[in-house]
Amino acid sequence: MAERTPEDSLSRTATPPGPVRLRAHRPGDIGWIIEAHGRLYAREYGWDASFEALVAEIGADFLRRFDPASDRCWIAERDGERLGSALIVRKDARTAQLRLVIVEPAARGLGVGKRLVHACIDSARELGYAAMMLWTNDCLHAARGIYEQAGFELVASEAHRSFGHDLVGQNWHLELGSGAQ
């Protein structure tokens, strides 16, 4: 049997993953957001391609209208791999809208969704918004939990048929305590 060297042990030891970091979007990120939403919602909820089309419209609109004075997109990544996203857009002079929050399955449970949502809340405050709103569906339990923990309040629910399913859409609202009046 051959003698083992310290280098042998090091080569067999897995390198621990780096830290999760948040960064602003760059070219290619919105395309990834669209793909991730289409892939994950089809696999996890059975939603059809009309959901991916909606996300593509939101993504295209974000890129066309992007204004750094009112909008933000955050990408969570680790070791160069995208793990999640969230963005805010101007709903009106007072209100930012939280959109396209997603976390890859391998990153769930690491606090990525919570970090993304809080980065958007902090950004909205920095940009001078007084409130935030979002639209989601009641079946998205993990996301709703993050929104509730962040202080969002459910203000309206409405049944709808979308993405090949009967769903209940929800509007959530958060007062930020400062910003434009």
- As a whole number of angstroms, the distance between CA 24 and CA 18 comes to 18
Task: Considering only residues 109 and 2, tell me which one the structure prediction assigns the higher pLDDT.
Answer: 109
Q: What are the CA-CA distances from residue 82 to residues 15, 24, 126, 128 (Å)?
A: 18, 12, 25, 28
Contact status, residue 81 vs residue 32, Cβ threshold 8 Å? no
With respect to residue 56, please indicate whether it lies within any of the assigned structural domains.
Answer: yes
With respect to residue 42, please indicate whether it lies within any of the assigned structural domains.
Answer: yes
Q: In this structure, what CATH number is given to the domain that contains residue 125?
A: 3.40.630.30
Contact status, residue 120 vs residue 155, Cβ threshold 8 Å? no
With respect to residue 83, please indicate whether it lies within any of the assigned structural domains.
Answer: yes
Domain membership of residue 25 as a residue range: 20-175
This prediction's pTM? 0.87
List, for residues 41-69, the tens digit of each pLDDT value. Answer: 999 999 999 999 999 999 999 999 999 99
Quote the mean pLDDT of the chain. Answer: 92
Counted domains in the chain: 1
Contact status, residue 76 vs residue 85, Cβ threshold 8 Å? yes
